[in-house]
Structure 1
């Protein structure tokens, strides 16, 4: 049977990358893209249960990739009630509709490594999917709550796959995130638009970064899993090779070829910052046949090149 894949959050950074991948490598699939801000997509409000129900009933997908969320941690921190509504209640509305109208569909829930939170500090090395979810941020707790909810619904019959991606970036990501924020500043300096000073937060933390093009390959693979797979399917999507934020900034400055002063801005320091976060993706390698392929140096060059083009166009 031809795959019918419904994607929520299709207008976002990751959704756009997933649509591109499916078009290029899985043209045999019929894709239904739901999102906002693009005339080619179907708008949907996850808080509107009737609208969600109607959409799922109409599409009757064989798989669904749920990307729609309040995804920027700062946005969740500034509007926690909205983050809970979208990330938890919206996810519940969608999952319930799938169980009613497309019970055979694979439901790919895209969670977050931020759900692990304080567990990173009590485990030596990369975490596995079995460590406790101990979130310390608003964003992390909403993603953990939805993750656990989908896991429970799997035992009621939802054919769920839960993905816990670690940090990922790529060309086109908003500068609300650390790497594009650095890249934008460095590109503006290189273009002569700003003085050679970059303002940063905590550079000593270590994070497990991936290229978005690798991450969406994992989601596509999860969507095409055998629908009779174990109901407790949960996968870290990670490199297992954490990098200091300082090292990433140094890579971007090296791309510019100029001398840039680095200044710490207290306003950019995050509360509850976890010093070290890395994931063990052995399960994804074994069951999804997935591993990261894009060298991080290529990711950094592509992100910097994107912001150079943005600065030139302004």
Structure 2
């Protein structure tokens, strides 16, 4: 049962189920939820065992769709935050069927399980700004009414899942779709561009790598966020979920495109280094978009959310994180 009510009268969730709780965003979201809902039971759903920072653990494998109704019934959630996904774009090119299985069929089955076993629960779905894909070629900031034109298997699977969640909302799922654009922060794996750069800079600084940075396409513009701002948006959306129209979609973005090559330059400057850059063909996408820029007006207008973490602080925290991780690496 809900633990109480919000100041605006909305029910305060007493049991919050977080899929992907042990992932990058999940590990930042857990303390944000703890601060916002100190009396709530945080249930970490994972297929790899207990998740630090949660009150209860639940075995949940999105690929085992038949088991999801029982898992949701066992959790008895008042709210579900669905972060779990196959989110590596490069991996999605290597295994499109596996990406579709997890991201579309797993999400669809989870939503149906919530409709069946916890129909009053709020359902926050971590969609992606990648769903717009080639629509960014219009050369303007895209809002939530822009068409989907995904440009890789990951993006296509997330676009399909986004549509599936929207359809389930028509049948009663208390869903909010949060289309997060590229975000970064401490703890991210080097499969993502800012973390990949920061790791190499930290290794060069520590004398563990020659002053050569291997990179993909540098002349690309992306709309970046700090993961802490993304998690703040999830908390704000959860507070409002029961009063929002079911299926409401929000872009989580800064509205400020940043050039990938400039990010590398900024990280090198923070470390006081110079390095040669070599393009790595394996890091290039078969299909790509040159410039990505979202329009965050709807979430600012509706939920009063806006990014708060300065970009320079984001880069410093990522680099400092990798300095610590590199220091702990074994030769």
Structure 1: gaps (5+ residues) = none
> Does residue 14 of structure 1 match 2:25?
yes
Alignment partners' CA distance in 1, 2:252 and 2:116? 29
Shift of 1:106: 1.1
> Does residue 254 of structure 1 match 2:269?
yes
> Does residue 119 of structure 1 match 2:135?
yes
- The answer to whether the 8 Å contact 2:215/2:279 transfers is yes
> Does residue 231 of structure 1 match 2:246?
yes
Q: CA RMSD in A?
A: 1.3
User: What is the aligned partner in structure 2 of residue 147 from structure 1?
Assistant: 162
User: What is the aligned partner in structure 1 of residue 7 from structure 2?
Assistant: none
Q: Structure 2 vs 1, CA of residues 190 and 38 (structure 1 numbering), >3 Å: closer, same or farther?
A: farther
Shift of 1:188: 0.4
Shift of 1:226: 4.3
User: What is the aligned partner in structure 2 of residue 306 from structure 1?
Assistant: 321
Alignment partners' CA distance in 1, 2:49 and 2:266? 34
User: What is the aligned partner in structure 2 of residue 212 from structure 1?
Assistant: 227
Alignment partners' CA distance in 2, 1:16 and 1:138? 26
- The answer to whether the 8 Å contact 2:47/2:61 transfers is no
Structure 2: gaps (5+ residues) = 4-12, 52-56
> Does residue 78 of structure 1 match 2:60?
no
- The answer to whether the 8 Å contact 1:119/1:132 transfers is yes
User: What is the aligned partner in structure 2 of residue 201 from structure 1?
Assistant: 216
Of 132, 156, 161, the residue aligned with 2:176 is 161
Shift of 1:18: 0.7
User: What is the aligned partner in structure 2 of residue 243 from structure 1?
Assistant: 258
**Secondary structure, counterpart of 1:111 in structure 2:** strand
Task: Note the 1:22-101 alignment, pairs <5 A.
Answer: 22-40=33-51, 41-101=57-117
> Cα deviation per residue 1:226-281 (whole Å; 9 max; x = unaligned)?
41421240000000001000110011000111221112222222111100001111
Of 273, 276, 296, the residue aligned with 2:288 is 273
Alignment partners' CA distance in 2, 1:184 and 1:262? 14
> Cα deviation per residue 1:186-218 (whole Å; 9 max; x = unaligned)?
110000111111111111110000000110111
Q: Which contiguous aligned blocks of 4+ residues in structure 1 show a shift greater than 4 angstroms?
A: none
> Cα deviation per residue 1:5-32 (whole Å; 9 max; x = unaligned)?
1110111001111112112332132211
Alignment partners' CA distance in 2, 1:80 and 1:311? 32
> Does residue 110 of structure 1 match 2:121?
no
Shift of 1:171: 0.6
Question: How many residues end up aligned between the 2 structures?
Answer: 313
Alignment partners' CA distance in 2, 1:262 and 1:233? 43
**Secondary structure, counterpart of 2:42 in structure 1:** strand
Of 288, 292, 306, the residue aligned with 2:303 is 288
**Secondary structure, counterpart of 2:125 in structure 1:** strand
